[in-house]
Amino acid sequence: MRTRFAPSPTGPLHLGHAYSALRAHDLAKDAGGTFVLRIEDIDQGRSRKEWEALIHEDLCWLGLSWETPVLRQSERRDAYRAALDSLWQRGLLYVCTCNRRDVLSAASAPNEGEPLVGPDGIVYPGTCRSRPGACAALPDGVALRLNMSSALKEFGTERPEPWEPTQGNGRFRAFQETGSGPNGETGIIHASCGHFLNNIGDVVLARRDFGTSYHLSVVVDDAFQDITHVVRGEDLFDATLIHVLLQHLLGLEAPTYLHHGLVRDESGNRLAKRHDSMAISSYREAGATPADIRGLVGL
Ligand code: GLU
């Protein structure tokens, strides 16, 4: 068993991160497996070395240990580009020139109803999908979107167990612990093609500014690092669907996914990195012990 914790160094780790990291760590260690730390720093504009150092410090203090050397996504651009190239050559990607405002105005057109919000914001209305002029070579410095409809067609022709999205209630090895998934599921999750098309849509796989995206990098790296079990919050449920689809398109093995409930603040809001009061470092400075943190997150 190989599990991982994959934070972005864009702020301090909070209790929610501690919970996820501890769950992934304990799962591997209890099974005699390996725990991996990966630094997801593709967004070089927001990532900071200081936050990365604090991540190491906080996790060490919590008593976690991980495989070294630690993989940093900023050093993996060639691998991401190779994956994009494979999708591009099969006509599964297209160049998108829309900015946020374009997406909002197209999605809010009078006959469109309320814009649907997916895992990455408003579901893309498809403005650039049929733009002519795709060139043979993978373009650089542009945003690339996955053509979800074509991707699902490719997926449907050789559908592996245990994933059956074309049945309307397909299933794959992803588990939800809380029963609060999009359809209230506990246990194995189901997803239909309609959900992919209407609630997720043509997601961005390469951003113009950093040539890749969270979804693409995470899939390439989970496979590269032989991750067998991904432990993550239930807020990433739709992201998992995208990831399993990408694994299939890229010929990568799908890990098992475990989605856990989120740690919330007193008002029931999920923690964000800006909740500095919930930062592990703040608890540390206030004299808390690692056991206190485990207790606070219910472990
Ligand atoms: N970098 C992501 C985060 O900070 C990783 C989550 C995941 O892929 O499980 O939320």
Q: How far is CA 45 from the centre of its chain?
A: 19
CB of residue 41 inside a 6 A radius of ligand 1:
no
CB of residue 8 inside a 6 A radius of ligand 1:
yes
The Cα–Cα gap between 237 and 66 comes to 25
User: Which pLDDT band, with edges at 50, 70 and 90, does 187 fall under?
Assistant: low
Are 43 and 10 in contact, with CB atoms under 8 Å apart? Answer: yes
Pocket test for ligand 1, best of 232, 238, 243, 274 (most atoms within 8 A of CB): 232
Per the confidence metrics, is the pTM higher than 0.85? yes
User: Which pLDDT band, with edges at 50, 70 and 90, does 299 fall under?
Assistant: confident
Q: Looking at per-residue confidence, does 157 or 203 come out higher?
A: 203
Inform me whether the pLDDT recorded for 146 exceeds 80: yes
**pLDDT > 70 fraction of the chain, expressed in percent and rounded:** 83
Pick the residue whose CA is nearest to atom 5 on ligand 1: 6
Position in ligand 1 atom list of the atom nearest CA 40? 1
With CA atoms as reference, report the closest residue to 260 among 17, 14, 13, 61.
Answer: 17
Pocket test for ligand 1, best of 25, 58, 217, 236 (most atoms within 8 A of CB): 236
How many other CB atoms are there within 10 angstroms of residue 165's CB atom? 24
With CA atoms as reference, report the closest residue to 6 among 35, 26, 27.
Answer: 35
Out of 49-63, 77-91, 99-113, which region has the weakest mean confidence (pLDDT)?
99-113
Inform me whether the pLDDT recorded for 48 exceeds 70: yes
Pocket test for ligand 1, best of 17, 40, 229 (most atoms within 8 A of CB): 40
Mean pLDDT of the region 78-105: 94
For residue 290, the model assigns a pLDDT of 97
Position in ligand 1 atom list of the atom nearest CA 230? 9
Who's near 3: CB < 8 A, 6+ residues apart? 24, 25, 27, 28, 33, 34, 35, 36, 227, 228, 229, 230, 231
| Distance from Cα 244 to the centre of ligand 1, integer Å | 15
Q: Looking at per-residue confidence, does 33 or 198 come out higher?
A: 33
User: Which pLDDT band, with edges at 50, 70 and 90, does 270 fall under?
Assistant: low
Mean pLDDT of the region 180-193: 58
For residue 161, the model assigns a pLDDT of 40
For residue 173, the model assigns a pLDDT of 46
Inform me whether the pLDDT recorded for 191 exceeds 80: no
Q: Looking at per-residue confidence, does 178 or 169 come out higher?
A: 178
Inform me whether the pLDDT recorded for 183 exceeds 80: no
Average pLDDT over the chain reads 85
Position in ligand 1 atom list of the atom nearest CA 218? 8
CB of residue 40 inside a 6 A radius of ligand 1:
yes
For residue 259, the model assigns a pLDDT of 83
Burial of 225 (0-12, 13-18, 19+ CB in 10 A): middle
Q: What digits encode the pLDDT tens for the residues 249-269?
A: 999 988 888 888 888 777 767
The Cα–Cα gap between 82 and 35 comes to 27
Inform me whether the pLDDT recorded for 206 exceeds 50: yes
CB of residue 52 inside a 6 A radius of ligand 1:
no
User: Which pLDDT band, with edges at 50, 70 and 90, does 189 fall under?
Assistant: low
| Distance from Cα 44 to the centre of ligand 1, integer Å | 16
Pick the residue whose CA is nearest to atom 3 on ligand 1: 7
Q: Looking at per-residue confidence, does 297 or 8 come out higher?
A: 8
Are 196 and 148 in contact, with CB atoms under 8 Å apart? Answer: yes
- CA torsion 181-187-188-191 (nearest 10°) is -20
CB of residue 243 inside a 6 A radius of ligand 1:
no
Q: What digits encode the pLDDT tens for the residues 15-41?
A: 999 999 999 999 999 999 999 999 999
Q: Looking at per-residue confidence, does 296 or 145 come out higher?
A: 145
Q: Which tokens sit at 81?
A: 């580009």
